[in-house]
Structure 1
Amino acid sequence: MFGLENIWSIGFVALSGFIAITFGILLASWLLKWPRGEEKVSELSDTIYEGAMTFLNSEYKPLAGFVVIITIILILTPIPNQAAYAFIIGAVFSALAGNIGMRIATKSNSRAAVAAKDEISKGLKIGFSSGGVMGMMVVGLALIGITIIWNFYPDPGIIVGFGFGASSIALFARVGGGIYTKSADMGADLVGKVEEKIPEDDPRNPAVIADNVGDNVGDVAGMGADLFESYAGSIISAITIGFAGVSGAIQLTSTEAVLYPLLLAAFGIFASIIAMAFVKPGKGSEIGDLHNVLNKGVFGSAIIMIIFAFFITRMFIGILNPFYAFLSGLAAGIAIGLASEYFTESRFRPTKSIAEASQTGSATNIISGFSIGLSSTLIPVISVCIAIGLSYHFAGLYGIPIAAVGMLSTLGMTLATDTYGPVNDNAAGIAEMGEMGDEVRERAEKLDAVGNTTAAIGKGFAIGSAALTAVALFSAYTKSVGLSSLDIVGPDGYLIIIGLFLGGLLTFIFSALTMSAVGKGASAMVKEVRRQFKELPGILKGETTPEYEKCIEISTNSGLKNMILPGGIAVAVPILVGLWNPQVLGGLLAGSIVTGLLLAITLANSGGAWDNAKKYIEEGHLGGKGSEAHAAAVTGDTVGDPFKDTSGPALNILIKLMSMVSLLFVPLFL
């Protein structure tokens, strides 16, 4: 058995993070050498880039204020000052990961469109490689940040500060970006597609540029910060629980228990890099063929990681119990991903049934889609339950966060397939606006349809790992405040029950606030688009250029204004409840995990299924574009927009952020 106390272990972990960033830089350099297209195409790409950066820079101003306020609070409380420094690093690194990913995505969209004009497989390669940059930056920055902080301050109470910073930025980025993108998307669809019967991404639609910008600020920058937080949170939860040593099913020293998840994450980087070589598009051009190409990379990285994890555990731990915990999490992640694919991909029955229901109107479309989302919770929840049971059996409480690390160990690869979607969605828009021809548009739409499914799979991984991580952090919290159990039938049981109800309520109120914000933004967008069509009749004739900037301004203001309250609630409520009674906070965390997991899966998968049901009809089925079924499917898709891209993804951040806040502020509660 090798001693993990050796400094080379921590050095290797840090080095793997730098290798990931270096690989991402090389990949970006390769991407930027591809042709951008003719003048009109490259100008459209530049406009989207500038709009995305304008929003992101505007978003950073209130976020910077939030970081300053929280830092001051942390310094003035009994919490160690080093936790405040870790909080700043976590916030900065999270924002940086999303920022870099979005810059490359907005530089790659026109290149993906031009590549698709040559061959559809080349368009896939560009989109996937752009996602690879994001994946490598996320895992590299997260590992470097955690390693540096732990090297100087080996204290769980301090490293949780890093997770709190990452979670805070992720929540605001997801909520703000989600409100922006869905306000624009819904406004563009409801007026352009439904009322005026013009194609998607038609340059005559005033909201079209805001819609394409939104794909990046919500599904790239927001998602990057989201999965940065998920990845870092899983590792931090393992470190927090393992630091006290692991006994029971296995015996590990503090050093072994801390470095084991870091080593797994480090080798996960190499598994992802190797598996990226498997993504070699063939001659097949159907959606199933294209999706199988990406699946080769996802499953290839999982197989490679299983081999790595086996030898790491055998050599450095000596017994395989932690490996079995790791394997249970990885298997659960794959099961959740496959379930998401089944319930959201247009090749399978659930999404086709939604499309068929569209033939009888919007109401039946919405009922069918929501029921599919509710049904889709079965496999993910059972998978999470099995992972929790097996990981606890093999490695005790420590096994649960190790399962979460297993689920996200190949994030470099899975995030590459996830970010692929927004890039090719933009490519489809640029192909339409740039008048690149029907063939290019058709190819880009197929690539986009694959992206909807990969995005749903990515959300499934994030939601599943969030449940495991939140359970681990919740357990760490109960130990920190001396709660040996949550006894609902004991003398103080009523306090636990109150907390359970409050936690369940919070996820619904949070979802209501974010959906309401999208609705308000979309309403303002609809009014603006209608105004322009009415006051500038030359727009629909192609004689007048729409006032795109006004729509961008509406989305920006809506996103920034409405992200404050949901984000503030997520941070303030756990602190206030904990100051009142730590037992109630324990119940609140437990209630939020259960309802948050179920609600997040329902919203993410129903939204994804609605979107692909619309695309299934647009491919020519059931009457195709312009039919009554298509109009009903567009309505369903607009309902699903805030489900899958705003409220659903933000819920997985919410349940971890509240656990992070609770654990960090324990000194105040005691």
Structure 2
Amino acid sequence: MDGLTLSVPLSGLAALVVAWMTIGAIDRSDTGSERMRQIAAAIQQGAMAFLNREYRVLVVFVLAVALLIVAVGLSTAAMDWRTGIAFLIGAAFSVAAGWIGMRVATRANVRTAQAARHGLVAALGMAFSGGSVMGLAVVGLGLLGVSVLFLLLGVDGVERGIINGFALGASSIALFARVGGGIYTKAADVGADLVGKVEAGIPEDDPRNPAVIADNVGDNVGDVAGMGADLFESYVGSIVATMALAVLLPQVDVALAVLPLLVAASGVIASILGVVAVRAVGGSDPARALRMGTLLAGGLTLVFVALISLLIYQTWVYFLATVAGLIAGIAIGLITEYYTSNDYAPVRSIAAQSATGPATNIIAGIAVGMRSTAWPILVIGAATLAAYYIGQRAGDQGLFCIALAAVGMLSITGMTVAVDAYGPIADNAGGIAEMAHLEPEVRRITDRLDAVGNTTAAIGKGFAIGSAALTALALFAAYTAAVRLDAVSLTDPNLIVGLFLGGMLPFLFSAMTMEAVGRAASSMIEEVRRQFRSIPGLMEGTAPPDYARCVSISTAAALREMLVPGLMAVIVPLLVGFVLGKAALGGLLAGALVTGVLLAVFMANAGGAWDNAKKYIEVGNLGSKGSDIHKATVVGDTVGDPFKDTSGPSLNILIKLMSIVALVFAPLFAERSGLLGAALEQARLLARVLVMGSG
């Protein structure tokens, strides 16, 4: 077993080596004309400046939380102070993954535009290479971090909850990256669309639009760094939760703590082979090439896990649990594609109903989003039941196998993130082609890649939501085992209060992030309007806009608005646990899981459907650009932007972060009834003494 355990960090290192080699190949590629390089430099400078400023803000938060954990660990035997060190490492690895992915994406965009001058196959290869760096960095750093901690600390590091700190660090960075990136990108996108496309009547990515650079920057900070951080913490969280259950549940063999690491390592190797296959095959059909790579990675993972389950653990149980999770992830992705792709009826129905104006467009989009929640929930429920009963047949290992299903779903995260991050690179390439006035054929190629990227992005969001549900469920199971919450009783008033609070939080969180986008977008809209009014020759193309001012507005707004929602996810579970007790905190996690997953599916799919309904019109169906029906779909798409790129995706991290906060601090809640419960108990005893004394 020791040799196998050592192979896990080597798998993580292999992913990082392939990513490093890919970075070298990208950097050696042609960057095109001087004008293309200038535009790309502006996008990269804006993106990296935002990321660096965001990380400087987060340093204060990370150090404060680490010191809190260390202080608590030193003052009580219930927690280990080394959890704070693991927290710092997890945060640092999450930051590193985001920084690497962002740097490469903003260098691959101009090279993709230049490659498109040589054809579709070359452009696909360059865009996907850029995305694969993000995917391999996520799984490489995640697996390397967890496995090295396990090798250094052993099972004791899992039993004492030290490794949980690594997951908490990853989750903390992920929430701020998702919220901050989402606010940034949607402030720029809404300003660019409403003033540029609707009011001024200029095309998308027109260099006369002052918000166009900020919009392209936003694609990277939201859909590359944000999505990467989201799946990094899901990936780490699922592994850590499964390891925790292996040692928290007495009926599970401690040796099973190694199993999730082996499954994850199998997925990393399979993802590397899937990435290589996409690059090697290429072809004239980008969607087919990406789908083939994903299916190859999934199939190889199943083969590897079957060998691990049968040869090492001598049972098919763990293989079948992994299959349940992986099939569920693929199914949720396909369901998401159905509800968000303009090849299918839901999106086309939204486009058709836009003929009567923006109101009916919005009504139709909301209905599609709500309807789209049914099948993903059924799939998640089926995967949960299948994994549970498979585990029960192996000797009361149901909860462990549910967590293992989450690891199975996330085992091909390297490939999933690669496919997802390819989209914004292709989108940026199209923007550079437009602003640099390249040949029309170049824009047609990048638009084709971008259209596939929109679908892969929607599938990626569905995958992220499904994985969040199973990961949060696994973390919830680990929390209940850690605090010995054997039964969840609806007759417990504390638990009922926790349920209601948890059910409310996703709605409050979504409102806060939506309002943040609205405020930031209002500032952007006023600035774009001001420049159109006050810069002579801007509309004629003889004077350049002030791109830097719009980038600065989005950056400042995102950093200012992300703090309160992010802090809420950490503070509320701690308050509920200390004041109302472990049962109420369990109720909080359960309530947030149910409403958070449903709301996330609704918002992500409604937003994606609105977006593709607009694109369906723009390619000449039912109307054309500039028509009344097109304007109606632009309004719907603008409403859907914060749905699909800010609030919806951030909910995934909210429910996972609250769960991992509860798990890390679980030792402090295990023997407590909460401050309120303790006060009521003291009051009851006092009343009893008084009654006995008067008698």
What is the TM-score normalised by the length of structure 2?
0.92
1:65 Cα deviation (Å)?
Answer: 0.1
Judge which range, 442-451 or 179-188, deviates more: 442-451
Instruction: Note the C-alpha offset of 1:372.
Output: 1.1
| Cα distance between partner residues in 2 of 1:31 and 1:354 | 40
Return 435-444 or 135-144, whichever deviates more. 435-444
Aligned to 1:132: 132
Aligned residue for 2:350? Answer: 354
2:621 corresponds to which residue? 621
**Structure 2 vs 1, CA of residues 85 and 280 (structure 1 numbering), >3 Å: closer, same or farther?**
closer
Partner of 1:167: 171
Deviation at 1:253, TM superposition (A): 2.3
The answer as to whether partners of 2:249 and 2:481 remain within 8 angstroms in 1 is no
Matched residue, 1:524: 523
Offset from partner CA, 1:107-160 (integer Å, 9 cap, x none): 000111111222122212211111111111110100110011112223231111
User: Which of residues 305, 308, 319 in structure 2 aligns to 1:323?
Assistant: 319
Partner SS for 1:144: helix
Which range moves more in the overlay, 273-282 or 443-452?
Answer: 273-282
Contact 2:245 2:481 in 1 (8 A): no
1:197 positional shift: 0.5
Give the C-alpha shift of residue 200 in structure 1.
0.2
Q: How does 1:487-506 map to 2 (within 5 A)?
A: 487-489=489-491, 493-506=492-505
2:401 corresponds to: 399
- 1:438 maps to what in 2? 440
Percent identity over paired residues? 53
For the residues of structure 2 that align with 1:570 and 1:73, how far apart are their CA atoms? 16
1:295 partnered with 2:291: yes
Q: Deviations along 1:415-435, whole A, 9 cap, x unmatched?
A: 110001110110111111010
2:123 aligned with 1:119 = no
Which of the numbers 354, 373, 392 marks the counterpart of 1:377? 373
Q: CA deviation at 1:537?
A: 3.5
Check whether the contact 1:121–1:282 (CA below 8 A) recurs between aligned residues.
no
Conserved 8 A contact 1:245-1:254:
no
Comparing 363-372 and 397-406, the one that deviates more: 363-372
Paired position in structure 2 for 1:41: 36
Partner of 2:228: 224
Question: Is this contact kept in 2: 1:335–1:379, CA < 8 A?
Answer: no
Q: For 2:346 and 2:276, locate their aligned partners in 1 and report how far apart those are by CA, in whole Å.
A: 32
- 1:210 corresponds in structure 2 to 214
Residue 169 of structure 1 aligns to a residue in which SS? helix
- CA offsets per residue over residues 608-633 of structure 1, 9 Å max, x none? 11111111111122221111111111
Partner Cα separation in structure 2 for residue 472 and residue 51 of structure 1: 38
Matches of 1:367 and 1:20, distance apart in 2: 45
- Whether the 8 Å CA contact 1:281–1:290 is kept in 2: the answer is no
Distance apart, 1:246 and its partner CA = 6.5
Asked whether the 8 Å contact 1:281–1:293 carries over to 2, the reply is no
3-state SS of 2:117 partner: helix
Does structure 2 conserve the Cα–Cα contact (< 8 Å) formed by 1:98 and 1:223?
A: no
Q: Is 2:33 the counterpart of 1:29?
A: no
Residue type of the partner of 1:604? A
Residues 261-300 of structure 1 mapped to structure 2, 5 A cutoff: 261-279=260-278, 289-300=285-296
1:36-92 CA-partner distances (Å, limit 9, x unpaired): 110101111111000001111110111000011101111111321110000000000
Whether contact under 8 Å (1:373, 1:602) holds in the other structure is: yes
* Residues 14, 144 of structure 1: 8 Å contact kept: yes
Deviates further, 654-663 or 118-127: 118-127
1:341–1:456 contact (8 Å) kept in structure 2: yes
Tell me the residue number matched to 1:142. Answer: 142
1:521-563: per-residue Cα shift (whole Å, max 9, x none)?
A: 0010000000111111311111111011111111001100000
Counterpart residue identity of residue 573, structure 2: P
Q: Which residue of 485, 488, 494 corresponds with 1:486?
A: 488
CA deviation vs aligned residue, 1:314-367 (integer Å, no higher than 9, x gap):
011101111111100000001000001111111111111112222221111111
Tell me, yes or no, if structure 1 residue 75 matches structure 2 residue 76. no
Give 1 or 2 for the bigger CA radius of gyration.
Answer: 2
Distance 1:622 1:282 in 2: 36
Question: Which residue, out of 448, 451, 474, partners 1:449?
Answer: 451
How much does 1:295 deviate? 0.6
Counterpart residue identity of residue 217, structure 1: V
Query: Displaced runs of 4+ in structure 1, greater than 3 A?
Result: 244-247, 280-285
Match of 1:118, SS state, is coil
What code does the residue aligned with 2:632 have?
A: A
2:668 match = 668
What amino acid does structure 2 have at the position aligned with 1:35? D
Deviation of 1:283 after TM superposition, in Å, equals 9.1
- Residue type at the aligned position of 1:554: I
Find the aligned partners of 2:511 and 2:52 in 1 and give their Cα distance: 27
Structure 2 CA distance for aligned equivalents of residues 173 and 284 of structure 1: 34
Distance apart, 1:264 and its partner CA: 0.8
Q: Which amino acid aligns with 1:208?
A: V
C-alpha distance in 2 between matches for 1:264 and 1:367: 43
Tell me the distance in 2 between the aligned counterparts of 1:385 and 1:279: 32
1:240-275 deviations in whole A, cap 9, x for unaligned?
Answer: 10124673xxxx5212x1111101111111111112
Out of 195, 198, 201, which is 2:199 matched to? Answer: 195
The DSSP-based 3-state class of the residue aligned with 2:12 is helix
Q: CA deviation at 1:667?
A: 2.6
SS of residue in 1 equivalent to 2:31:
coil
Taking the aligned partners of 2:281 and 2:5, their CA distance within structure 1 comes to 40
Aligned residues of 2:527 and 2:550 also touching (Cα < 8 A): yes
Q: What does 1:101-116 correspond to in 2, within 5 Å? A: 101-116=101-116
Q: Give the aligned partner of residue 690 of structure 2.
A: none
The residue identity in structure 2 corresponding to 1:106 is T
Aligned twin of 1:424: 426
Letter in 2 for 1:118: H
Gaps of 5+ in 1: none
Aligned to 2:545: 546
Match of residue 91 from structure 1 = 91
- TM-score normalized with structure 1 length: 0.96
Q: Tell me, what secondary structure is at the counterpart of 2:277?
A: coil
Aligned residue pairs total 654
Quickly say closer, same or farther: Cα 1:568–1:496, change in 2 above 3 A. Answer: same
Match of 1:64 among 34, 59, 66: 59
Whether 2:654 is the aligned partner of 1:654: answer: yes
Corresponding residue for residue 462 of structure 2: 460
**Comparing 158-167 with 146-155, which one deviates more in the overlay?**
146-155
> Which of residues 181, 184, 205 is equivalent to 1:177?
181
8 Å CA contact 1:358, 1:364 repeated in 2: yes
- Secondary structure at 2:585 match in 1: helix
Report the secondary structure of 1:553's partner residue. helix
The structure-2 alpha-carbon separation of the partners of 1:315 and 1:281, relative to structure 1 and needing over 3 Å to count, comes to closer
Query: Which residue identity is paired with 2:39?
Result: L
Q: Are 2:351 and 2:361, in contact at CA under 8 Å, matched by a contact in 1?
A: yes
- For 1:199 and 1:612, locate their aligned partners in 2 and report how far apart those are by CA, in whole Å: 17
| SS class of match (1:617) | helix
> Could you tell me which amino acid in structure 1 is paired with residue 224 of structure 2?
V
| Cα deviation, residue 502, structure 1 | 0.4
**TM-aligned CA deviation for residue 284 of structure 1:** 7.2
Distance in 2, Cα, partners of 1:351 & 1:293 = 24
- Describe the superposition over 1:495-530 as per-residue Cα deviations: whole angstroms up to 9, x where unpaired: 211111100100100011111100100010000000
For 1:291, the aligned partner's letter is: A
Q: Secondary structure at the match of 2:278?
A: coil
